[in-house]
């Protein structure tokens, strides 16, 4: 920070009552120190007629933003567990796809793959791809491999 004089900065000396009000405002609205100082300043300038309503509303919106924004939709433990399950299943199905040619004649393996992938076909591309490979192999073998 420059040590030169900065005319756009204002230092305020607050008495105890004003300082306590400032701290309460900062805590209640979860604001940083600068925003907690600027918000009532803007309010006062508007009430005294020194700034327009548009300027007032833009600054109030800006200086009312909390330090930490709440997420719009915090994830529940169940949602997090479901995401983790889908990640694990996706890895499993991708591994099965890689190994598909190795097990091309194994009817039991195909059956296990189908049973594992079927419940996830709506959510995972890897499950749909695996089921497609199984269907294609089943049609090509004409009964050799059954699902």
CA–CA dist 112, 114 (Å, integer): 5
pLDDT at 71: 56
CA–CA dist 26, 66 (Å, integer): 9
Residue 68: is its pLDDT beyond 80? no
Q: What is the mean pLDDT of residues 72-86?
A: 80
CA–CA dist 84, 138 (Å, integer): 31
Residue 137: is its pLDDT beyond 70? yes
pLDDT at 146: 44
- The mean predicted confidence, pLDDT, of the chain is 86
Residue 84: is its pLDDT beyond 80? yes
Domain residue ranges in the chain: 16-63, 77-141
pLDDT at 66: 86
pLDDT at 147: 42
Q: pTM for this one? A: 0.47
Sign of CA dihedral 62, 74, 30, 49: positive
């Amino acid at each position: 920070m420059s040590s030169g004089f900065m005319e756009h900065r204002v230092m305020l000396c607050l008495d105890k009552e004003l300082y306590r009000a400032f701290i309460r405002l900062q805590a209640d609205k979860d604001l940083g120190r600068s925003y907690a100082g600027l918000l009532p300043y803007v309010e006062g300038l508007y009430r005294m007629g020194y700034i327009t309503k548009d300027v007032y509303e833009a600054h109030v919106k800006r200086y009312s933003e909390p330090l930490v924004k709440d997420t719009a939709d915090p994830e529940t433990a169940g949602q997090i567990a479901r995401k983790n399950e889908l990640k694990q299943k996706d890895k499993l199905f991708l591994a099965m796809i890689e190994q598909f040619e190795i097990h091309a004649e194994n009817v039991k393996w195909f059956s296990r793959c189908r049973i594992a992938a079927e419940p996830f076909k709506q959510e995972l591309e890897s499950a749909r791809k695996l089921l497609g490979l199984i269907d294609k192999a089943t049609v090509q073998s004409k009964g050799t491999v059954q699902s």
